[in-house]
Amino acid sequence: MDVLERNGFRFDKGPSLFTLPYLVDELFTLCGEKAEDHFKYQQLKIITNYFWEDGISISTYADKHKTAKEIEKKLGAKQQDILTYLEHSDKIHKLTSSTFLEKSLHKTATWLTKDVVKTIASIGSLGLNDTLHSFNTKYFSEPKLIQLFDRYATYNGSNPYQTPGIMAVIPSLEYSQGAFFPNKGMRSIVDSLVSLAERQGVKFNCNSLIKEIIYDTQNKVTGVSVNNELIEADTVVSNMDVHPTFEKLLPNIATPKRILKQEPSSSALIFYWGINRKFSELDVHNILFSKDYKKEFDGLFESKKIFADPTIYIHISSKIKSDDAPENGENWFVMINVPSATPGTETIDIESTKKLIQQKINSILNTKIEEYIVCEEVLTPNDIETKTSSYAGALYGPSSNSKMAAFLRQPNFSNTIKGLYFCGGSVHPGGGIPLCLLSAKIATRLIPKA
């Protein structure tokens, strides 16, 4: 959640969609404060604008009935079919959230609760034996509508033709609980929580490179090594990607090969463009779809090559936060999914890929976008790995391209070293803002109270 400022434009460099804001609010509540006194956000009336090259476009709304009506009007699918699908998405969320998202899957106590009994009793309806794509085809026949709901696999960097149908839970977060935007931009999530922590007495030591996690002969954490100094601690929580955590900070511990060999999620190529005009047909979140989604994902996860017709995501925060761009301008965060930078993946030709992106934007929006770009910055998978230590620049840690993927992620605690815990996007329950916060919640509950 970094920030980039260029030529009067401000860009949130990382995550751009904010869901489940209660996870931030409750941290203020736990500390005896009111979140609204320090951190304000608003619900988006329009969630996403979708575009296809044949001229069809759709807006989805916070009001699911309005969304269903729009889809029926534009694509001919029945409103009730849309609402039935979203009701099933809510059902999956209700059945799985308390078990799969809020508790450790690696503790026996988790499996001895009433919630788990209910989940197991309904296992047949959760889509575990389908892929997300095949699950969606059971509800819809219109290709564009299937593509729209297949897209939710990208919310955890996975392939809709491989990830299980249980991922149909993701639309519930948007259509039943809402999509939001912080009034001061996405970075304000970090800033407000840092200030809250500091008011509670937390001290942050930034730009202090940790060399190693230290433990004694009984495999009990004793602290961390920073600049050749031991910082003593009974408990250490690593928010770092598990790959460098094990490989760099725990060099003498046998690495969990089963976990580290998992297929990484997709990465991203992002262009930050300052645009000197406004596009009324665009909103905060916009998707320009590929003509052949299957080939695009085959490239991401099989051939490891960027498809010649990639799906483009355009985020424009200045649509809602006007001071993020000069008057009569817009700040475009333009992203395509690309393969993670694992060994053997070909280097991205940035200029030729940029031309592909611009050609598609020009075709769909009937413009010449290159004439309106006044400043540009680029973020590649290698940049993401360098800046965040995310293995291969993967956006969400391991992908979820199998029905057992949730059980194969690194637990929120160490089986080897007492007092060592894990949170963040590369561990259970997964990547993205809500799941990272939930991973921290799970880890905190596992730590013995003093």
Retrieve residue 164's tokens: 């299980």
Regarding whether 298 and 219 lie in a shared domain, the answer is: no
- When pLDDT is averaged across residues 189-200 and rounded to a whole number, the result is 97
Regarding whether 277 and 241 lie in a shared domain, the answer is: no
- When pLDDT is averaged across residues 3-24 and rounded to a whole number, the result is 96
Looking at residue 118, what is its pLDDT? Answer: 67
Count of residues making up the chain: 450
For the entire predicted model, the pTM comes to: 0.95
Looking at residue 117, what is its pLDDT? Answer: 65
CA–CA separation, 231 and 223 (whole Å): 5
Regarding whether 70 and 157 lie in a shared domain, the answer is: yes
- Whether the pLDDT of residue 356 is over 90: the answer is yes
Output helix, strand, coil percentages for the chain, rounded to the nearest 5.
40, 20, 40
CA–CA separation, 21 and 25 (whole Å): 6
- Concatenating the DSSP letter of every residue in 262-304 gives SPBPPEEEEEEEEESS--TT--SEEEE--S-HHHHHHIIIII-
Tell me 131's DSSP state: B
Regarding whether 235 and 129 lie in a shared domain, the answer is: no
- Whether the pLDDT of residue 401 is over 70: the answer is yes
Determine the structural domain holding residue 370 and report its residue range.
1-44+179-204+266-339+342-379
In a domain, 226, yes or no: yes
285 within 8 A of 49, measured Cβ to Cβ? yes
Among 16, 416, 77, 62, smallest CA distance to 255 is for 416
Name which of 15-19, 109-113, 353-357 the model is least confident about. 109-113
- When pLDDT is averaged across residues 201-225 and rounded to a whole number, the result is 95
- Whether the pLDDT of residue 124 is over 70: the answer is no
- When pLDDT is averaged across residues 219-239 and rounded to a whole number, the result is 95
In a domain, 385, yes or no: no
329 within 8 A of 317, measured Cβ to Cβ? no
CA–CA separation, 351 and 371 (whole Å): 16
Backbone angles phi, psi at 430, to 5 degrees: 145, -170
SS3 18: strand
In a domain, 49, yes or no: no
CA–CA separation, 3 and 10 (whole Å): 7
Regarding whether 361 and 334 lie in a shared domain, the answer is: yes
CA–CA separation, 294 and 310 (whole Å): 11
- Whether the pLDDT of residue 346 is over 90: the answer is no
246 within 8 A of 258, measured Cβ to Cβ? no
237-279 pLDDT, tens digit per residue, is 999 999 999 999 999 988 888 888 889 999 999 999 999 999 9
Last residue of a domain, one of 163, 178, 193: 178
Looking at residue 302, what is its pLDDT? Answer: 94
Percent of the chain scored above 70 by pLDDT?
96
CATH number at residue 256: 3.50.50.60
In a domain, 418, yes or no: yes
In a domain, 365, yes or no: yes
- Concatenating the DSSP letter of every residue in 389-423 gives --GGG-SSSB---STTHHHHSBPSB-SSSBTEEE-
CA–CA separation, 240 and 303 (whole Å): 29
CA–CA separation, 184 and 320 (whole Å): 10
In a domain, 124, yes or no: yes
Return the number of other C-beta atoms located less than 10 Å from residue 291's C-beta. Answer: 15
SS3 33: coil
Looking at residue 96, what is its pLDDT? Answer: 82
Q: Could you report how far apart the first and last alpha carbons of the chain are, in Å?
A: 32
CA–CA separation, 390 and 102 (whole Å): 23
Compute the mean pLDDT over every residue in the chain, rounded to the nearest whole number: 93
**Residue scoring higher pLDDT (262 or 377):** 377
- When pLDDT is averaged across residues 46-54 and rounded to a whole number, the result is 98
Regarding whether 240 and 276 lie in a shared domain, the answer is: no
Regarding whether 349 and 212 lie in a shared domain, the answer is: no
On the 0-12 / 13-18 / 19+ scale of CB atoms within 10 A, 210 is middle
- When pLDDT is averaged across residues 39-56 and rounded to a whole number, the result is 97
Among 308, 312, 267, 271, smallest CA distance to 289 is for 312
Q: How many helices (H) and strands (E) does the chain have?
A: 15, 16
- Whether the pLDDT of residue 181 is over 80: the answer is yes
In a domain, 414, yes or no: yes
Retrieve residue 345's tokens: 């993946």
Confidence class for position 109, pLDDT limits 50, 70, 90: confident
163 within 8 A of 401, measured Cβ to Cβ? yes
Regarding whether 183 and 315 lie in a shared domain, the answer is: yes
- Whether the pLDDT of residue 95 is over 90: the answer is no
In a domain, 110, yes or no: yes
Looking at residue 100, what is its pLDDT? Answer: 79
Q: Which residues pair with 50 in a beta bridge?
A: 58, 287
Return the number of other C-beta atoms located less than 10 Å from residue 85's C-beta. Answer: 22
Looking at residue 123, what is its pLDDT? Answer: 64
CA–CA separation, 354 and 111 (whole Å): 49
Regarding whether 136 and 251 lie in a shared domain, the answer is: no
CA distances from 50 to 141, 224, 285, 312, 441 (A): 18, 48, 9, 10, 34
Name which of 120-134, 196-210, 241-255, 382-396 the model is least confident about. 120-134
Regarding whether 290 and 255 lie in a shared domain, the answer is: no
Regarding whether 283 and 183 lie in a shared domain, the answer is: yes
CA–CA separation, 116 and 314 (whole Å): 39
Regarding whether 328 and 186 lie in a shared domain, the answer is: yes
The count of domains in the chain is 3
